[in-house]
Amino acid sequence: MNKWKKFKESYFLYSFLRDPVAIFSFAVFAALIIISFSAPVTAPHDPYDTKTISIMDSEIPPLWQDGGDSEFVLGTDAQGRDLLSTMMYGMRVSIIIGIGAVCLQAFLGVIIGLLSGYIGGRIDSFFMRLADIQLSFSTLMVAIFISAIFQTVFGSGVYGEYAVPILVLIIGLAEWPQYARTVRASVLGEKEKEYVEAARVIGLRQNWIMFRHILPNTLSPVFVISTIQVANAVMSEAALSFLGLGMPVTKPSLGSLINAGFEYIFSGSWWITIFPGILLIVLVLVVNLLGDWLRDVLNPKLYKG
Amino acid sequence: MEHLLEVKNLEVKFALRSGELTAINKVSFTLDKGERLGIVGESGAGKSVTGFSIIDLISKPGYIASGGIFFEGRDISKASPDLIRHIRGNRISMIFQDPMMTLNPVFTIGDQMAETILAHRKVSKKDALKIAVEKLRQVHIPSPEQRLDQYPHEFSGGMRQRIIIAIALLLDPAVIIADEPTTALDVTIQAEIMELLLELCETNDTGLILITHDLGVVSQVTKKIAVMYAGRIVETGSTANIVSSPQHPYTKGLIKALPGSRGTGTKLHQIPGNMPNLTEMPEGCAFNPRCELAEDICRNTVPELKQRGEFKRFVACHMV
């Protein structure tokens, strides 16, 4: 109860309520989350259930066009799946992969950044050179490289089955240097501050000082990159899927839907690509806008002009 | 009689790329139970390094080259990290200059105080908070129970320094090292804090090492003084004695430089020149380039700390 009261009086909530863009983005983001995670209940069709899918229904245009069917509001894709339902399921996959990958990135990056920054010396050089090397390749290239290895090692059948955790792993491994560098930079700043010295004077253990005293003071940049990285991870997943290295066609994400529809765009079935594309843009945009707002709140020195 | 804390011929060096610098040179002093010692000197004289070296927290390129630090009979300069950690905060605690910086901004006062207790004693968090409340009351913080849930930024500078003193006192240490505890505070608050520190040390019979450049403060609080110059103790003895009749020319200069020592309307005394940089120490007595009395011997030979007169008075000067 006390916590709730504190939250209600906080600057965080205050600045949120004063920022219409933040409210709008949050509302859209929440709506998208609810829609995608309630898909098994609310979606008009189940795109994973092959029994309900008929190839006869393929490439039906959206409702308002000639030949539209009231059963398929946004039309169907090349396999006869209801596009609206498939998008809802697909967005769920995209969001799960995005958030999962960011959790992995953050976990790896924060620990590596903290150790590098606090201990320094050889550990620092080792991890930062590793990060440099990885950053000198593009993220997508690293991801393609890792996923190609996964596919050859496990075979594409197994890969299809475990595509979600594998994609989380791939995108997570590809982007940890972002976190590690940010955290390291703020640890370097924090560890010189007197409260760290004071903690040592009190006689606390090194690990305790590192995780309990320094880590919380470096978290605000971590939150900010996290939102941006969620958007990035969703995009990376879409890009990988678009290249055919992501989610299989049977369990499409937004990216693989865009990819699947791309082949039909010149034969007139534009909706298979355009609708998932718009949804992807909206999702990434609201997450980025939220991240922007969060950066302004957590970094009071950065006043808007 | 065995002393509570004895620093013997302490030598601290900094290993730099350009070579080794001696920041602390053959410093010795003792502290008994409940005794208060002031270490006085200009910036860069090595006062703070002396304080930090006692609890083995000299920052990186620095290390204890020789000498010993005996606490309750044990040489803690060679003790294991675990033992040192057990002593820090528990038996010897330290108060820093800037109260704005020494508290972690993301935790409540209660959390930070409880943490200190829990690091050294096996008590429940509830009991730890009880001790915290009691100590906050000792440093005259009103309604301490509510204060525990507040964050450092909700306190003023003077209040924060009180909290830091409370944290230093949490485990009833035998010695508190206070490194310029009032420098960052308003003059009016300075006096209050010093009085509080004095009162608490007296009631708890805690030893105090007060590191400061302010002879005025030292003369009110401490019984003994060690005056440091360029990494050495140049004069040591009882406070009353040194303040009334300083012997080393540097100490004389410091006392003359105090406001009010020459009567109103006159210019304050200044010691000409600056303290030498550690990299370019003069030959002989480090003070010789600024000293009015300097003669040839001062430029060639480093003066030893020798007993002069009674009252355990030691001075390092050829001319006394």
Q: What is the pLDDT of residues A203-234, one digit of tens each?
A: 888 888 888 888 888 888 888 888 888 888 88
pLDDT digits over B104-143, tens only? 888 888 988 998 898 888 889 899 999 999 999 988 888 8
Q: How far apart are CA B184 and CA B164, in angstroms?
A: 13
pLDDT digits over A239-298, tens only? 888 887 777 777 888 888 887 777 787 877 788 788 888 888 898 899 888 888 887 777
Single-letter residue type at A202: I
Give the pLDDT of residue A303: 47
Rg of chain A over all Cα atoms, to the nearest angstrom: 23
In this structure, how many other beta carbons lie within 10 angstroms of the beta carbon of residue A102?
Answer: 26
Are A290 and A297 a contacting pair, CB within 8 Å? no
Are B320 and B304 a contacting pair, CB within 8 Å? no
Single-letter residue type at B204: N
User: Nearest by CB to A203, which of B89, B98, B164?
Assistant: B89
Provide the shortest C-alpha distance from residue A84 to chain B (in Å).
46
Nearest chain A alpha carbon to B177:
A201
Whether A203 and B101 lie within 8 Å, measured CB to CB: no
Provide the shortest C-alpha distance from residue A52 to chain B (in Å).
55
Provide the shortest C-alpha distance from residue B109 to chain A (in Å).
13
Better-predicted residue by pLDDT, B247 or A8 = B247
Q: Which two tokens stand for residue A77?
A: 């894709």
List all residues of chain A from 193 to 212 with a beta carbon under 8 Å from chain B: 193-195, 197-205, 208, 212
Name, in order, each residue with C-beta under 8 angstroms of B42's C-beta and a sequence gap of 6 or more. B213, B229, B275
Q: Percentage of residues in chain B with pLDDT exceeding 90?
A: 8
Instruction: Please report residues of A whose CB lies closer than 8 A to that of B93.
Output: 201-202
pLDDT digits over A111-139, tens only? 999 999 988 889 999 999 999 988 888 77
Length of chain B: 320
Give the pLDDT of residue A304: 43
Instruction: Please report residues of A whose CB lies closer than 8 A to that of B88.
Output: 200-203
Q: Count residue pairs from A and B with Cβ separation < 8 A.
A: 59
pLDDT digits over A86-113, tens only? 888 888 888 898 899 999 999 999 999 9
Q: Which two tokens stand for residue A116?
A: 């590098």
Q: How far apart are CA B153 and CA B155, in angstroms?
A: 5
Give the pLDDT of residue B209: 92
User: Nearest by CB to B98, which of A194, A203, A213?
Assistant: A194
Rg of chain B over all Cα atoms, to the nearest angstrom: 20
Give the pLDDT of residue B105: 85
If we measure between CA atoms, which residue out of B109, B74, B104 comes closest to residue B91? B74
Q: Rounded mean pLDDT of B85-96?
A: 88
pLDDT digits over B230-279, tens only? 888 989 988 888 888 888 888 888 888 877 766 777 777 788 888 888 88
Distances from the Cα of A106 to the Cαs of A221, A265, A281, in angstroms?
A: 11, 38, 24
If we measure between CA atoms, which residue out of B139, B138, B137 comes closest to residue B158? B139
If we measure between CA atoms, which residue out of A217, A139, A142 comes closest to residue A183? A217
pTM above 0.90, yes or no: no
